Structures are given as structure tokens and as C-alpha cells.
């Protein structure tokens, strides 16, 4: 006789119930199959990474020169300085299109899966989609914080809820400081 998993099953059912309330679209979408198990979501992420790796170089490293047209187009479209986008990519991923953080953020601008979905980014490892999504998001945050780039960057990193509550983590403060230093340097270099 195996271990009694009644309590585990009960907890998992409760988690699924909460998820259904928080993200009903995920469970009611006719095109997306329901994913109630963490392992299924993890497998989807790994499959997306393998697919992305197969169509780009192994390391995923790229450069500003290779992405200049995409960055310039997004900078103009969303009214965000080209240099700010470059600074964010440098700090977020070091120009690695295949970057995945220990928290699950993906691609050049390190979009979280839920943020990607919210922004309509289907392939976070595609540089054009990732940059478009990231720039759109920082633009929205800049609007939310009435042009305060540092608050927008803190919200990009820690989430708007933390910024709104005034509870910005130290790691996010360093993140903002690093990006702003690179941003100023790039602007001075012209």
C-alpha cells in the first residue's frame, strides 16, 4: 500500500480552483488545452526553448547592430529612447536571445510568461516579439508613472504592485541604478 496522498490531492485541487478564478481565460480558451500540472507548463517552456535554440545560434548571443532596426522601430512606435531599450537589454539578458532567469523570465528583455501572454508575445525567444513586448510594457509603465523612468523601471523589475505600495526591493533599486548608469553613458556617447 502506497502513501496516503489525500491531503496533497486536496491542496492541488484547491490550487487549481484558485487558478481558475484568477486566470479564467487560461482554462476556458478553446485553442489552449488546460494545463493543470506544473510539469506540463515546464515541458511547454522547455519545448519553446528547444525550438528557439534550433533556429538561432547555440549561445543565443546577439548584438545591438543585429537588432538595431527592431530597436529603432520600437523606440519610435512607443516613444521610448533607443538608449534606454539598449540599456535594459544589456542588464536584463546581456544580449542573449535564449536567456531564462531563475524565476522564469525569458528572452532579451526577460519577460515573465504571464507578461508575455498579456502583451501578445507568442514566442518570447523571438527577438522582434520580445523587444516589441518589452518596449510596449516599459512604455505603458512610463505612462502609468507619468514619465518617471526610474519608477517605471522598478515596476518592470519588481512589479507595479510593489512600486505602488512603496515596497521596492533592494535588488530592484540596484537594477534601476545599473540601467540608468548605462542609459546615461549611451546618451552621452550619442
Q: In tens digits, what is the pLDDT along the chain, a chain of 190 residues?
A: 556 656 766 766 677 777 666 666 555 544 444 555 565 665 666 566 555 544 444 468 999 999 999 999 999 999 999 999 999 999 999 999 999 999 999 999 999 999 999 999 999 999 999 999 999 999 999 999 999 999 999 999 999 999 999 999 999 999 999 999 999 999 999 7
Q: What is the pLDDT, as a whole number, of residue 19? A: 66
Tell me, what's the pLDDT at 55?
46
pLDDT of residue 15: 73
Answer yes or no: 73 catalytic: no
Q: Which of 66, 83, 92, 150 is catalytic?
A: 92
Chain centroid, CA 134 distance in Å: 7
pLDDT of residue 31: 47
Query: Which DSSP category does 34 fall into?
Result: P
Q: pTM of the predicted model, to two decimals? A: 0.70
Whole-angstrom CA distances from 1 to 4, 5, 7, 167 are 9, 12, 16, 49
CB 148 within 8 A of CB 138: no
Amino acid at each position: 500500500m502506497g502513501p496516503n496522498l489525500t491531503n496533497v490531492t486536496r491542496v492541488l485541487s484547491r490550487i487549481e480552483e484558485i487558478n481558475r478564478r484568477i486566470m479564467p481565460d487560461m482554462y476556458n480558451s478553446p485553442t489552449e488545452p488546460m494545463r493543470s500540472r506544473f510539469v506540463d507548463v515546464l515541458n511547454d517552456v522547455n519545448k519553446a526553448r528547444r525550438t528557439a535554440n534550433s533556429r538561432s545560434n547555440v549561445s543565443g548571443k546577439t548584438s545591438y547592430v543585429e537588432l538595431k532596426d527592431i530597436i529603432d522601430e520600437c523606440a519610435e512606435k512607443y516613444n521610448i529612447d533607443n538608449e534606454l531599450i539598449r540599456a535594459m537589454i544589456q542588464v536584463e539578458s546581456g544580449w542573449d536571445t535564449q536567456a531564462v532567469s531563475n524565476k522564469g523570465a525569458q528572452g532579451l528583455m526577460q519577460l515573465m510568461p504571464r507578461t508575455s501572454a498579456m502583451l501578445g508575445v507568442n514566442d518570447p525567444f523571438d527577438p522582434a516579439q520580445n523587444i516589441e513586448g518589452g518596449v510596449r510594457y516599459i512604455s505603458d509603465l512610463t505612462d502609468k508613472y507619468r514619465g518617471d523612468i526610474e519608477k517605471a523601471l522598478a515596476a518592470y523589475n519588481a512589479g507595479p504592485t510593489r512600486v505602488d505600495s512603496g515596497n521596492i526591493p533592494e535588488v530592484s533599486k540596484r537594477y534601476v541604478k545599473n540601467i540608468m548608469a548605462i542609459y546615461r553613458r549611451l546618451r552621452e556617447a550619442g
